[in-house]
Structure 1
Amino acid sequence: MSRNFHFISGLPRSGSTLLSVLLGQHPDIYCDPYSTPVCSLMTKMLSVISEGEYKTEFTDDKVVNLLKKTMDTYHDISSRPNLIIDNNRAWCSKLQLLDYLYPDAKVICCVRDPVWVINSFERIIGRDPTLSSYLVPIEHRATLHLRVNYLLSPAGAFGFAYQALQEAFFGQFSSKLVLVDYDSLVTRPLSVMRLLEKELNVPSATYDMDNVRYEPPTAYDGALETPGLHEIAPKVEPQRHPLILPPDIVNRLAGCAFWKNSNMNPKSVRII
């Protein structure tokens, strides 16, 4: 069966799990609620294709076929709808590849003020008094400042995603992007879903915003020593949490939500 593919990417702690679950309520859409390995599989496959002794063995058609079959095989479940949305933060760094394989695909990027992204990371890591989360290597866990510095680094969960988002937003394939701001999602969810339905060219559906049913990936979160990483509230509404970051970190992150500045959007990237 030929399937239509779209993608979810963007910043962590910015509503991608919630949005994925809501999209999954649409009868014509299957959406992975958390990251799949497809992007990593394609990346490793491309390293074999483009490097070393086998690089002469691959025609362009063969490369396209292998990569698409990887996606098709991973999602080859007969009960799934024809429109599938794959989820991985690294897709923002692969827009050229996605445009090559799926020229009509949209990449939905969940975004949120970086102050509150880092605040959310610190809250969930700080739930465990032993600070055992693998989101931050043990040598960077001793103080809040060390943890934040790592998260903001290019190797960190936020730093990588933020740089990939900038690459996508300001790059030549930015027309593929649809940004969904976390605050919009939790304050006017139905409006956001209606706009996304138009972007994905699917009919309007009914969504239950008061009873969001979802089975969190406890094994996945447990492997990261970060229980609750993908938990979401059963009702879509703003979650009030105190700011626990010191002023110097807040000041450091102030103004980093570049998508909120219309002067920083010369290509008119769609922002919901």
Structure 2
Amino acid sequence: MRPVHFISGLPRSGSTLLAALLRQNPRYHAHMSSPVAGMVDAMLGEMSDRNEYAIFIGDQQRRRVLRGLFENYYGAEVAGDVVFDTNRVWCAKLPVLADLFPAFKMIACVRHVSWIVDSVERAVQKNALRPSFMFGHQTRGTIYNRVEALAMGEGILGYSYNALKDAFFGEHAQHLMLLQYETLVRDPAKAMAAVYAFLGEPPFEHDFDNVVFHADDFDERTGMPGLHAVRRKVSYNERATVLPPDLFRRFEHDAFWLHAPSNTRGVPVV
């Protein structure tokens, strides 16, 4: 089986851009979020003791079944010598992944949380005539309702944030690297050099002026056209926030990865 690595982390933090850049390397297969994490969750549940026939399923069988999901999903028709699977759930699954793929690496994309919330709200407002799937297609909510839904424990942001802390402070943190959105867009050459060093892979010369990625069909289906749009040229876009000041300030101290004394596992933060 080909080596499998993972892209995870916080939403609206550069995972699609990272995948688009990795795809420039002909040795790599990378894309936006895949369904594999959900399939792994489903199979773990079906092979648990809630299944009356679980007595016939041992750990070796569980490993074969779960590895088989990856091997068959990324079949011969998928090009590349190395596969990167993307999903925000993976940060919560380091113990499972360490059992299945002992040599795996995970790149977790992070960003100042206030700007993540801003990015989501900006996408919602851009598609104002199409209520967002992120909030159950609700039509009566305010920006404050939407932020609460994002930040709650099962929300898109809240779950991802908690999963990231789970990985960062957990005993399998040696598999983890944090890639800051701010670094990726301001100094992409530095960011990608760090990624290759972390992976133990030979460097590759990326074209940061001609990045190509399209997920138009998926974005259209979610009712948020342009959600995964990637600008052709990697650059930092200075802008004012669309959030009220109190909402923006609410998350301004949540970038725990910048507090070096807390990084007791020595996780690389680029």
Range with greater deviation from structure 2 (138-147 or 53-62): 138-147
Would you say 1:271 and 2:269 are equivalent positions? yes
Structure 1: stretches of 5+ with no match in the other structure: none
Tell me how far apart the structure 1 counterparts of residues 29 and 215 of structure 2 sit (CA, whole Å): 17
Tell me how far apart the structure 1 counterparts of residues 187 and 53 of structure 2 sit (CA, whole Å): 51
Q: How does 1:207-218 map to 2 (within 5 A)?
A: 207-214=206-213, 216-218=214-216
Aligned partner of 1:93 in structure 2 is: 92
Percent identity between matched residues is: 35
Change (3 A) 1:158 1:90: same
- Alignment TM-score, normalising by the size of structure 1: 0.95
Tell me how far apart the structure 2 counterparts of residues 177 and 105 of structure 1 sit (CA, whole Å): 9
Letter in 1 for 2:201: V
Aligned partner of 2:176 in structure 1 is: 177
Tell me how far apart the structure 2 counterparts of residues 140 and 116 of structure 1 sit (CA, whole Å): 23
Aligned partner of 1:258 in structure 2 is: 256
What CA deviation, in whole Å up to 9, does each residue of 1:54-109 have, x standing for no partner?
A: 21121211111110010010001345122111011000010000000011101100
Letter in 2 for 1:77: A
Would you say 1:43 and 2:41 are equivalent positions? yes
Aligned partner of 2:247 in structure 1 is: 249
What CA deviation, in whole Å up to 9, does each residue of 1:134-178 have, x standing for no partner?
A: 111244752110111101112221111111111111111111111
Tell me how far apart the structure 2 counterparts of residues 52 and 141 of structure 1 sit (CA, whole Å): 41
Tell me how far apart the structure 1 counterparts of residues 53 and 94 of structure 2 sit (CA, whole Å): 25
What CA deviation, in whole Å up to 9, does each residue of 1:102-138 have, x standing for no partner?
A: 1110110000000100000000100122351111124
SS in 1 for 2:80: coil
SS in 2 for 1:108: strand
Q: How does 1:1-272 map to 2 (within 5 A)?
A: 2-32=1-31, 34-50=32-48, 51-78=50-77, 80-130=79-129, 132-139=131-138, 142-214=141-213, 216-272=214-270
Tell me how far apart the structure 1 counterparts of residues 138 and 30 of structure 2 sit (CA, whole Å): 36
Find runs of 4+ consecutive structure 1 residues off by over 6 angstroms: none
Aligned 8 A contact 2:132 2:138 in 1? no
SS in 2 for 1:85: strand
Tell me how far apart the structure 2 counterparts of residues 248 and 79 of structure 1 sit (CA, whole Å): 46
Aligned 8 A contact 2:184 2:191 in 1? yes
Aligned 8 A contact 1:39 1:90 in 2? yes
Range with greater deviation from structure 2 (223-232 or 88-97): 223-232
Structure 2: stretches of 5+ with no match in the other structure: none
Aligned positions, number: 269
Aligned 8 A contact 2:131 2:138 in 1? no
- Alignment TM-score, normalising by the size of structure 2: 0.96
SS in 1 for 2:72: helix
Tell me how far apart the structure 1 counterparts of residues 76 and 29 of structure 2 sit (CA, whole Å): 10
Q: CA deviation at 1:30?
A: 1.2
What CA deviation, in whole Å up to 9, does each residue of 1:10-37 have, x standing for no partner?
A: 00000000011101111221112x1111
Aligned 8 A contact 1:131 1:141 in 2? no
Q: CA deviation at 1:52?
A: 2.0
